[in-house]
A and B are shown apart, each in its own frame.
Chain A
Amino acid sequence: MLDKIQIAKRIAREIKNGQYINLGIGIPTLVANYIPEELEVVLQSENGLLGLGPFPNEEEVDADLINAGKQTISMVKGSALFDSSMSFAMIRGGHVDLTILGAMEVSENGDISNWKIPGKMVKGMGGAMDLVASAENIIVAMQHCSREGKSKLLKNCTLPITGIRCVRKIVTDLALITVMPEGGFRLLERAPGVSVDEIKSKTEGRLIIEGEIPEMVF
């Protein structure tokens, strides 16, 4: 089983040179720490920054410089600042190459639910619906099962949908999975020490297993 940092590390290996990337809140934010140094990539923050840098040191903290999670941040060399409309023009217009975000549920045709649990306080979708509506390349970081042990990889989402047929890959604590264009979760890699049978038993949606499934390498 992978911990959150290992999930982030595995996702970081999916990143390619030259990509513009939007990272969601939670595990996706951790991915920034594990992007291989030889890659030149640019992180986008939907509140209006291209070129997200590390958290600042105490003296550099600037209230006018935050990320989409409202944390104080720094800028890398070559950054650009812009308004919210232009930010989502980048997102909806398909200019952002990779979106990494968390989810509560993913269905076998790539639908994602991650913004609302009926009966609980609804905080809002923020930029999630815009992000998933247009991105060609979405990787989801999440636990394979809920705290109650229920599979989060489903035939159909049970929670309100954030976007339809949009998830490309999923990295969970148990596996790396790709969502097939015609539907179905195809198992690509298993976490160290996790058996195919365990992944099978914890995946409610259709799991496609072809050939030997290798263990993840870090």
Chain B
Amino acid sequence: MINKTVPNAESATKDIGSNSVLMLGGFGLCGIPENCISALLTRDLHDLTCISNNAGVDDFGIGQMLQRRMVRKMISSYVGENAEFERQLLSGELKVELIPQGTLAERIRAGGAGIPGFFTPAGVGTEVADGKEQREFDGKLYILERGLIADFALVKAWKGDTAGNLIFKGTARNFNPLMAMAGRITIAEVEELVPAGELDPNHIHTPGIFVQRIFEGKNYEKRIEKRTVTP
């Protein structure tokens, strides 16, 4: 079996350069590639384009990359909870492209699946439709959306094996399996890395063909944005 293992986040991400287009998995702070982000923060990078559903919070996740002015453009569906983001956006340092969440997910899936475009009803009659081809199918209007790919996809899984097979946990799955398909180079960080053959093939969410590099991450903080409990 092909071995995709690299030693750590630094070696996995060392060829990510300025001006790269990155996809980063996660929904809010759930299922984000913490180790890869930490490794990027030690580098002198700028003008990155980041495709991610959200932009982290001020001091965690992509928010930290924004603090260091590493990001030129964000492609996201929701970017609340981040004061530095707002400041850079209003000052023009940062560009943002907002995309309906389902459209974002499907654009990434399509990109990874070799589908250059598809029609969706989301955004018809709104500013999201501006400048896009519109077509009627069976009496209903749809807009053309394009597939998305990235130079590097940074994904986080629960378990993985040396062949790059991945299993996700809970709602930390979210955009990760889609982005894994859409990276020219996909880097997977996992909480537990095991030898090929130890994961049940019936339980694999992302087959190893989509993953070029895999490593076992460390010191996961897994910060919770809104801890809500039943008293």
Contacts and interface: CB of A to CB of B under 8 A. Distances in A.
A49 B171 CA distance: 7
B130 to A, nearest CB: 11
A70 B79 contact: no
Interface in A33-87: 45-49, 54-58, 61-67, 69-73, 81-85, 87
Given A64-B31, A133-B123, A164-B124, A84 B101 contact: yes
Contact of B102 (A57, A62, A92): A92
A211 interface: no
Interface residues of A, number: 49
Interface stretch (A119-127, A140-148, A176-184, A194-202): A119-127
Contacts of B91: none
A166 B101 CA distance: 18
B177 A83 contact: yes
Interface residues of B, number: 55
B230 A129 contact: no
Interface of A: 45-49, 54-58, 61-67, 69-73, 81-85, 87-88, 91-92, 111, 121-130, 133-134, 160-164
27 contacts: A48-B27, A57-B229, A61-B227, A63-B30, A64-B169, A65-B171, A66-B27, A66-B226, A70-B27, A83-B176, A83-B205, A84-B53, A84-B102, A87-B105, A88-B101, A121-B86, A123-B78, A127-B77, A128-B100, A129-B100, A129-B102, A129-B128, A130-B100, A161-B125, A162-B126, A163-B125, A163-B126
